[in-house]
Structure formats: structure tokens, C-alpha cells
Homo-oligomer: A and B are copies of this chain.
Amino acid sequence: MVEFNPRSLDALFHALSDPTRRAMLQTLSTRSHKVGELAAPFDMSLAAASKHIKVLEQAGLVRREVRGRTHTCHLEALPLHAGLAWLRHYERFWRDRLDALEALLRSSDATAAATPDIPAPTRKETP
């Protein structure tokens, strides 16, 4: 298996484990946002939103550009690449599982096709 920096993966997956932080990344994938704009859609204080942004910065997913009093956040997607590479190692396991499920569905379809819905009339024996 490819070796990754464990601390980077800890920070990355921790950053992604919260729906607010994932939504912030989604927002930043459209364009860069000022901190206030990024925090606005969430029902939380600016301080709470800032904490989420800091977690994203610590994971290297957000770069903050400071110009005077304006802080602009930019998406830095590169660390996500390590997460995807880590997950890919397990792809064969769910592929096997999905293939098995597909085979099961196909065999049940084949059985259903071989078994007519209306049973064939039984020949009436004459006594």
C-alpha cells in the first residue's frame, strides 16, 4: 500500500467529518469567498464558523489571503488527493461486493424468467 503521512490523513479526514466544513468546501469549489460570506449561510456565530475554517486551514484545504481587514478563503484541493488514493486501496473490496450483488440479482432475474408468473394448467386426469 502507498504510504501517506498519517498526521496529514488524520487532519484531512477530521476536517471532512463535519457537514459544515464539507459545505464550506463545496462553496469554495464555486469561487473564493470572504470569511463573512463563507460563514453567512450557517446558523452559527462568526466565531464558530471561524473555528471550522481553521480546521480546514490546518488540513491544508483552505488558504486564507489577508489584505488589510479582508480575509479571503481559497480552496486548496490537493490534500484531498491523498484521501482519495488511500480510499482507492479498498476499491477492490467493494468492487467484489458489488460484483457479488450484481451476480445475485442476475441469477434471481434468470430464475424469475424461467418460472412463469402463471402456473401452467395441470392436465386433468380422467378417471
Contacts and interface: CB of A to CB of B under 8 A. Distances in A.
Contacts of A25: 90
Contacts of A98: 78, 81
B26 A18 contact: no
Interface in A74-92: 75, 77-78, 80-81, 83-84, 86-91
Interface of A: 1, 6, 9-10, 12-14, 16-19, 22, 25-26, 29, 75, 77-78, 80-81, 83-84, 86-91, 93-94, 97-98
A-B pairs, top 8 by smallest CB distance, nearest first, are A77-B93, A13-B17, A14-B17, A13-B16, A77-B94, A84-B87, A6-B19, A77-B90
